[in-house]
Amino acid sequence: MTDKPANPRDLPPDEDDAFDAAETPAEAEAKPCEEPVETPQTPESVKRGVDVIKKHWRHAPNGPGVYRMIAESGEVLYVGKARNVRKRVASYTRLAGHVNRIARMISATASMVFISVETETDALLLEANLIKQLKPRFNVLMRDDKSFPYILIAKDHEAPQILKHRGARVRNGDYFGPFASVWAVNRALNALERAFLLRSCAQSFYDNRTRPCLLYQIKRCSGPCTGEISMDDYAELVREARDFLSGKSRNVREQLAREMTEASERLEFERAARLRDRISALSAVQGAQGINPRSVEEADVFAIAKDAGRFCIEAFFFRAYQNWGNRSYFPRADATLSEAEVLDAFLAQFYQEHPSARCVLLSHPIEDSALLEEALTARLGRRVDVLAPQRGEKRELVDHALHNARQALGRKLAEDASQQRLLAALGQAFGLAAAPRRIEVYDNSHIGGAQAIGAMIVAGPAGFMKAHYRTFNIKSADIAPGDDFGMMRETLTRRFARLAKEGEKDQESDAFPAKPDLILIDGGRGQFEVARDVLRELGVEGVVVASIAKGADRNAGRESFFVEGKEPFRLPPHDPALYFVQRLRDEAHRFAIGTHRARRKKEFTKNPLDEIAGVGPARKRALLLAFGSAKAVSRAALSDLEKVPGVNKATARLVYEHFQRE
């Protein structure tokens, strides 16, 4: 769902009436698009874009659908939906009256693509999906689409497990959430384990226990693995946990209170104490959640704040009368859009990936609330209400979210201002004409040349841009083990050769560029010369290269810097730019080391049988069962391999010849 640029209802009455006159597809086809009125101020690029749109308008469907505006390079500029695509596209054929953003979009349009759908709801869902895939620069873009963590109570075992879950719901069980952060779900899990004593161990751990584990000793598990509790009693604990997470918390607490009273009356003080501790743990789950609604069982709350042309959307999730956390989003949107337009566009993209609550509360009323209700109701299978409350507890929840949105946006603006000052200081230190918008930092990691990794981290006005981080597995056979210069050459060659192949897109001023302004290399003069030679060979211009040589005794603060056109220099010990460079270098080092260790660990656990094409899991299992290990398989004779059940002669020869070649 996107903003509605140049909506027909916003046009002058005569033009709007002209659109409404085409009541049937035949009449609409017969009626030409209104001849645009040219003004002396209309740029030539807008005129060209309008001519392109007029040509495609003649083939636009006269019904619900989605349209894409495409640049000459093939980049998708904008994805929009409409109840009547033909009318919506006609609104772009005016030569005047557009805001700057729409005028730029029209100027860049070289072609259009239309998709017809059955209903406007289908158009809403398709539009959100295309925006997520294509990330058009003129749409409102949701920057953070990570999945939320859930609490899962599994159903695939006689003693169900309670655990944290993120990702696709492929395991059979009950999912409770979403929780806004891993910290929130971990806190809830800790309290729930104390309250209901459900096991959290893995299946292999459960199956191999001969005595209760430490969690049983500290009263975080009831010990079903060794029969410390009967399966019937454990099933009752599972039922209570499901009831609590489903919103029946009051019933669960009242039942536990009755059992505690009865136990104390029967002088069973140890059992009464255990029940008291469980009640206390339940109180911790509810009491530590901050604001908890009294009358709203389940709701998603969204509030949007705008300041200095930036937007922040704060999302709160309430389930079972409990606050399950909040998350801040900073969507990329044009500063001329209103809060309601940005919120409208954000919600369709958000619910493309996440299930909705029964009630969606908004700080601003949106134009397509009825359409969003219809789409969410169809997806959830039960009625979903989308509203902007004006009074009562629902309004209090929205006001609380709005307060948090304003605070989060204020913090973000302060962080960005601080980051801009650091970028400006860095640009001045390395001789850039302006503050760099994109900085790339490169480092290598290996052990004696094994599992060699080249790593690139990226920083910009918004801090570390982790979505742009890249790793390069060093593949060249010509590089000697431990040749850092050769590794750096391969890394930079592959990076900038690909950039040249893809082409530098015509980026908007507020978009993050694909080409760096500054490259930092972790190394001395040798690495600096290699980087400079690579860029010169590939014809890369406009990029400043600098290298960071570790100081004497490798002490931080005594680094030397190499930049083209300057003598090696140092920055003052307390210069903020020096601290910033150290942070960038340390982040590159952390990323390179972490990737190298992950690859090395994978190599350690790799099975030689995995390298043999044609040997699948079943045959590999048969070989390991027959010989005990991959090493024994490698030493086996061909006749012995042929005797393994499930392994035919062709496969046996394939395995034998593979190890003979090795």
pLDDT tens string 140-159: 887 765 677 888 888 888 88
Q: Name the fold adopted by 299-411.
A: Nucleotidyltransferase; domain 5 (3.30.420)
The count of other CB atoms within 10 Å of the CB of residue 63 is 18
How far, in Å, CA of 82 to CA of 89, rounded? 9
Task: Please say if the pLDDT value at position 537 is more than 80.
Answer: yes
Contact 231/159 with Cβ under 8 angstroms? yes
Between residues 314 and 254, the one the model is more confident about: 314
Dist CA 368 CA 283 (whole Å): 40
Give the residue-averaged pLDDT of 519-527. 87
- Looking at the domain that runs over 8-134, which CATH code has it been given? 3.40.1440.10
d(CA 474, CA 490): 7
In the chain, ranges of CATH 3.40.1440.10 domains? 8-134
What confidence score (pLDDT) does residue 145 get?
Answer: 59
- Per-residue pLDDT at 13 exceeds 50: no
User: How many of the other CB atoms lie within 10 Å of CB of 200?
Assistant: 16
Total Cβ atoms within 10 A of residue 457: 25
pLDDT number for residue 280: 67
How many Cβ atoms sit within 10 Å of the Cβ of residue 146?
8
Token couple for 634: 């490698």
Q: What residues pair up with 68 in beta bridges, in sequence order? A: 79, 113
Q: What percent of the chain has pLDDT over 70?
A: 84
State the pLDDT at residue 438: 92
Between 375 and 620, the higher pLDDT residue:
375
Average pLDDT over residues 227-252: 80
| Domain 439-603 superfamily per CATH | UvrC, RNAse H endonuclease domain (3.30.420.340)
pLDDT of residue 6: 44
Distances (CA, A) of 636 to 612, 641, 655: 15, 7, 10
Distance separating alpha carbons of residues 85 and 62, to the nearest angstrom = 6
The position carrying tokens 């709801």 is: 121
Measured distance CA(87)–CA(285) in Å, rounded: 53
Rounded average pLDDT over 495-499? 88
- How far apart, in whole angstroms, are the C-alpha atoms of residue 105 and residue 102? 5
| Separation of alpha carbons 453 and 603, rounded Å | 14
Q: Which residues pair with 152 in a beta bridge?
A: 163, 175
pLDDT score of 640: 82
Only one residue has tokens 């990570």, namely: 146
Segments in 99-220 forming alpha helices (H)? 100-108, 120-134, 182-196, 203-207, 214-217
Predicted pLDDT at 302: 94
Strand order in the sheet with 162-165: 162-165, 150-154, 173-176
How, if at all, do strands 299-307 and 310-319 pair?
A: antiparallel
Q: What is the structure's pLDDT at 402?
A: 92
Q: What tens digit of pLDDT does each residue of 396-446 get?
A: 899 989 998 998 888 888 888 888 888 888 888 888 888 899 999 998 887
Q: Which residues pair with 387 in a beta bridge?
A: 361
pLDDT value of residue 508 = 41
pTM of the model: 0.63
Closest residue by Cα to residue 101 from 64, 125, 56, 137: 137
Distance CA 394, CA 414 (A): 31
Contacts of 223 (CB under 8 A, 6+ apart): 212, 216, 229
Chain Cα centroid distance, residue 445:
27
Lowest-pLDDT choice from 7-16, 213-222, 326-335, 624-633: 7-16
Compare 258 and 83 and report the one with higher pLDDT: 83
pLDDT in tens, 554-601: 556 678 888 887 888 888 877 888 888 888 888 988 998 888 888 777
Cβ atoms of 349 and 143 within 8 Å: the answer is no
**Do the Cβ atoms of 362 and 353 come closer than 8 Å?**
no
CATH architecture, range 608-661: Orthogonal Bundle (1.10)
d(CA 473, CA 595): 10
Which segment, 184-198, 235-249, 360-374, 537-551, is predicted with the most confidence on average? 360-374
Residue 22 banded pLDDT, cuts 50, 70, 90: very low
